[in-house]
Structure 1
């Protein structure tokens, strides 16, 4: 039996919209961290463990503006005075931060069925807990509702839940496209790297094309600037997908100023991949868009089943898919 909890239309203000080299939406680790924090509280009271979550975005607004009315956008920053112990107010220097307002729905995967006696209490507890803790560093200002779903038929349950979150867009992992594109680049340029492939998904690129109806003898410099399409079809975006260890695992308390000296410590760097925004009606199985942590060797990544099971691909694209593991994905 599949069991899910729907946190419907969570409105968040001043969430962090910078994730490593990317910006515009919080990293997926924010949402899994939010899920893990809820899971720890539910385990103590109800014995329920949350094993993953699906992220559906309904609305987003990055706090940025154009200073001159044109050109590059810059983040809208605040400059708040500090009150010292002496009672004197001083202004702190500005530290750039990217903020955004967003409305999301989270579909949380539960490892345990909900008994009839605890359902009402579980909904009431989640309604309080989901609004009490922060999401992506932002304050939760509104929650439309909490619903519990259980069914033996996964297809029926998927359709019911995915219709519930319309209109919106579901974020899923498509990092297998990153490896495929890198292999195509290496076939033409042996010096190409995974970074070059990732930038093709991240950057907006234009190239000069000579029009067909232009006489080059009279107009040798006549060109048209044409936007270069992304390496694959779909609403593809660069995302931060987890971390990679860059040091040995130190014993608890061995590293000064660590966040929690009770646990072993390891230095890490962010890992990057490619995600895709899908309309919920294009997702055949809810389990394909549930994000989960997967650890292997030095990698600690957030992935979905769509890394191995591509959605809505043409037959020639399906034939080109290869089975991947986290260590085969050469993140940078």
Structure 2
């Protein structure tokens, strides 16, 4: 879904309780699941919806709003470890060779961008209920969607945002939807921060790379400033007030090999689809409050696949306010 594309509806699945989602979002990052996991959920949901007879709509993009999380790690100290379960033993009493992943519990709302040319009002309610029922039986980033009691279920009933009006109507309806989802934070793309940090690093090191910029943004660097007079120094970090909640994130995959013919690679998961070896791609993201979003495109993530260039990326069209880019 490009920045100039306008979905006809937003389907909001509010306050899903997801247990034991995959907390290892890539080989180098952990915490909130990667957006590729949510895009995978969207594509799987679209296939299930078509199989269920809901073929009048298409799924274009997805946004995730986090209301809370609990990563399953040990507490205390500077070094944390994932809490892993005791695996069953083999016949000889040794531990089974199971590589267990880190887990995280999520309280998340999903926002799906839908396009429908002919979706009657009578059919919408039934289709939305059917889609919610499908999601309840699916895995979200490897986690299980937990059922709710009747009182909570009424508050978490899915709803639609109609975006078929003019730009002013769409903007107001989107703002109302954001208010209904508060309190919550949305993960948006901040590719621009990499370029800014790279320019800063090159002032001191002309050979600095985008990897250096990514690693620099992924950590908080502290230095001791002695000040004008001795005894009046203080520790200062490279993050200033107002920088936001910046996090390193995976944003898709880059090709390591040419496309292989379907079935030509042994043990591939799907023998009917071309195969390619890939590695993770990384960028920066920012968690921001929903009240700061100005349009659906700033919330939603979509796939940008360029097989000829070997790129399979998740993209988001968030742009910071002009005051942020000038600072």
How many angstroms apart in 2 are the aligned matches of 1:183 and 1:246? 28
Among 94, 98, 101, which residue is 1:97 paired with? 101
Quote the residue 1:324 is aligned against.
Answer: none
Quote the residue 1:22 is aligned against.
Answer: 29
Following superposition, the deviation at residue 248 of structure 1 comes to: 0.3
Quote the residue 1:329 is aligned against.
Answer: none
Note if contact 1:42-1:49 (Cα within 8 Å) is conserved in structure 2.
no
Q: Does 2:311 match 1:305? A: no
Note if contact 2:90-2:96 (Cα within 8 Å) is conserved in structure 1.
no
- Using the size of structure 1 for normalisation, the TM-score is 0.85
Following superposition, the deviation at residue 230 of structure 1 comes to: 6.6
Following superposition, the deviation at residue 187 of structure 1 comes to: 3.3
How many angstroms apart in 1 are the aligned matches of 2:289 and 2:242? 17
Among 170, 176, 184, which residue is 1:160 paired with? 176
Quote the residue 2:214 is aligned against.
Answer: 198
Note if contact 2:197-2:217 (Cα within 8 Å) is conserved in structure 1.
no
User: What do the CA deviations read for 1:109-154 (whole angstroms, capped 9, x no partner)?
Assistant: 0011532221222122112111101001111103622112213131
The CA RMSD measured in Å over matched residues stands at 2.3
3-state SS, counterpart of residue 244 of structure 1: strand
Q: Does 2:49 match 1:49? A: no
In 2 relative to 1, CA 14–131 (structure 1 residues): closer, same or farther, beyond 3 Å?
A: same
How many angstroms apart in 1 are the aligned matches of 2:29 and 2:242? 19
How many angstroms apart in 2 are the aligned matches of 1:92 and 1:231? 49
How many angstroms apart in 2 are the aligned matches of 1:194 and 1:232? 23
Q: Does 2:133 match 1:123? A: no
Following superposition, the deviation at residue 264 of structure 1 comes to: 0.5
Following superposition, the deviation at residue 232 of structure 1 comes to: 7.8
Note if contact 1:2-1:154 (Cα within 8 Å) is conserved in structure 2.
no
Note if contact 1:79-1:92 (Cα within 8 Å) is conserved in structure 2.
no
Q: Does 2:267 match 1:257? A: yes
Quote the residue 2:72 is aligned against.
Answer: 63
Note if contact 2:161-2:174 (Cα within 8 Å) is conserved in structure 1.
no
In 2 relative to 1, CA 172–142 (structure 1 residues): closer, same or farther, beyond 3 Å?
A: farther
Following superposition, the deviation at residue 311 of structure 1 comes to: 2.4
Note if contact 2:17-2:106 (Cα within 8 Å) is conserved in structure 1.
yes
Among 234, 239, 246, which residue is 2:249 paired with? 239
Quote the residue 1:31 is aligned against.
Answer: 38
Following superposition, the deviation at residue 95 of structure 1 comes to: 3.0
Alignment of 1:134-173 (within 5 A): 134-142=139-147, 144-151=156-163, 152=165, 153-173=169-189
Aligned residues: 304
Note if contact 1:54-1:289 (Cα within 8 Å) is conserved in structure 2.
yes
Q: Does 2:314 match 1:314? A: no
Following superposition, the deviation at residue 61 of structure 1 comes to: 0.6
Following superposition, the deviation at residue 93 of structure 1 comes to: 4.5
Note if contact 1:19-1:26 (Cα within 8 Å) is conserved in structure 2.
yes
Note if contact 1:15-1:137 (Cα within 8 Å) is conserved in structure 2.
yes
Following superposition, the deviation at residue 106 of structure 1 comes to: 0.7
Among 63, 80, 85, which residue is 2:87 paired with? 80
Following superposition, the deviation at residue 155 of structure 1 comes to: 0.6
Among 127, 130, 138, which residue is 1:133 paired with? 138
Q: Does 2:292 match 1:276? A: no
Following superposition, the deviation at residue 89 of structure 1 comes to: 6.4
